[in-house]
């Protein structure tokens, strides 16, 4: 069964990429444009950098109430709000952002950028490159530090010298950690969710399988497929990558409880039908290919593989010791992708961290996205101890 079959239920072929492209509705996005090329950690530079971002609430006159929210691999800047023109999905942390919620927009100015290398408005492989065509396979290799360096430019443009809180989970947690280590004076409080000090061999192995699935797609074309026309993108490879990833995002116990050995509907797997869990994975593959770009997926996963907070900083322990922010480290008890032992390493190395807070969830790694009540309590814990803005604001 084609992994994007459910997305292609109509006769209209999928576009080559699910990326936001010039001419699409902007939605709530705003853009920061960097005036100088961005020097990259691996060498060379990236010209024409821009970051799409969204904000909620209002910045206080003393600029003390800004909160930076950093998304995971297939997230974007649309943390809160409904789906609509320019935004194919509802806000991925909608329950946390708004008046009276943990990130109370009557008090806090919430900022969420689309990561550099992403595909929902920020510079990435689907963006127009110097020659007037999409970057495609010529897009340079990025690291988490490159992405954070771009985000510091956004902070400067907004006039935010110090974040009241930086929060991120999974890939977003890697960037949040880089912020706190690389720019310790600019982060007052830090919430790290389900992320490591460095990518492990196991995580790199899972990621490599996903990258190879995309590159093996006959429509990959070395990454230069963005203008190939409808139906010509590497949809099958991206769908397989999503299947592999999604297995790691959920727990074995949850999959067994929800699906067991059951067939999908009246189909009999031993007669060519599907198991229920296969249908579930097909569904998630189909959703992703309509809203994401395969080359961005590769670029971001490769950046995640480079993550090592100790690289060039003596070692990981020394790097973690640079964090000045009041810090809460949290992990998910059923997470098999970023297990609690990795959060324990963070908590042991960050001076202000007081052990690991455990998010109880049957959902595995995705628990940091789904258990919003528990995450909200951690957010409130950090923000309730923060100084009040100069005035109370309404957004």
Residues that are catalytic: 170, 335, 365
10 Å CB burial of residue 150 (0-12, 13-18, 19+) is: buried
Task: Decide if 292 contacts 119 (C-beta within 8 A).
Answer: yes
CA 205 from centre of chain: 19
32 — phi, psi (to 5°)? -105, 130
CA proximity to 67, closest of 169, 168, 194, 195? 168
Strand partners, 56: 110
Note whether 372 and 255 are within 8 A (CB): no
Q: Are the C-beta atoms of 363 and 250 separated by less than 8 Å?
A: yes
Chain length of the chain? 395
Cα–Cα distance for residue pair 199/308, rounded to 1 Å = 6
**How far apart are alpha carbons 223 and 297 in whole angstroms?**
11
What is the rounded distance in angstroms from the CA atom of residue 279 to the CA atom of residue 276? 5
Q: Which residues of 280-290 are buried (b: 16+ CB within 10 A; e: fewer)?
A: bbbebbbbbbe
């Amino acid at each position: 069964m084609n992994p994007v079959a459910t997305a292609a239920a109509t006769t209209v072929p999928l576009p080559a990429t699910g990326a936001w492209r010039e001419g699409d509705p902007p939605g709530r996005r705003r853009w920061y444009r960097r005036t100088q090329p961005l020097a990259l950690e691996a060498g060379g530079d990236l010209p024409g950098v821009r970051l799409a971002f969204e904000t909620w609430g209002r910045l206080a006159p003393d600029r003390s109430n800004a909160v930076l929210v950093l998304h995971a691999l297939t997230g974007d800047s649309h943390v809160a709000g409904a789906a609509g023109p320019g935004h194919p999905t509802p806000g991925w942390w909608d329950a946390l952002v708004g008046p009276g919620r943990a990130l109370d927009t009557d008090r806090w100015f919430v900022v969420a950028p689309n990561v550099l290398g992403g595909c929902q408005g920020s510079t990435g492989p689907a963006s127009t490159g110097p020659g007037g065509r999409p970057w495609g396979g010529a897009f340079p290799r990025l690291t988490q530090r490159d992405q954070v360096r771009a985000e510091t430019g956004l902070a400067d443009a907004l006039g935010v010298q110090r974040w009241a809180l930086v929060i991120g989970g999974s890939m977003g947690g890697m960037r949040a950690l880089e912020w706190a280590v690389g720019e310790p004076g600019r982060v007052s409080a830090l919430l790290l969710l389900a992320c490591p000090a460095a990518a492990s061999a196991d995580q790199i192995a899972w990621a490599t399988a996903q990258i190879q699935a995309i590159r093996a797609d006959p429509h990959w074309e070395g990454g230069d497929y963005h203008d190939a026309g409808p139906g010509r993108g590497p949809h099958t490879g991206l769908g397989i990558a999503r299947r592999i990833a999604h297995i790691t995002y959920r727990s074995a116990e949850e999959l067994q409880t929800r699906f067991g050995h059951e067939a999908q509907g009246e189909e009999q797997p031993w007669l060519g039908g599907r198991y229920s869990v296969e249908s579930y994975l097909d569904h998630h593959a189909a959703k992703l290919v309509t809203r994401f770009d395969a080359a961005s997926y590769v670029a971001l996963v490769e950046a995640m593989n480079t993550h090592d907070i100790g690289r060039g900083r003596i070692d990981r322990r020394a790097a973690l010791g640079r964090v000045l922010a009041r810090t809460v480290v949290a992990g998910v008890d059923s997470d098999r992708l970023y297990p609690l032992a990795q959060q324990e390493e963070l908590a042991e190395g960050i001076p202000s961290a007081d052990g690991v807070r455990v998010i109880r969830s049957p959902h595995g790694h995705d628990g940091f996205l789904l258990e919003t009540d528990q995450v909200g309590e951690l957010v409130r814990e950090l923000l309730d101890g923060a100084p009040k803005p100069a005035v109370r604001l309404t957004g």
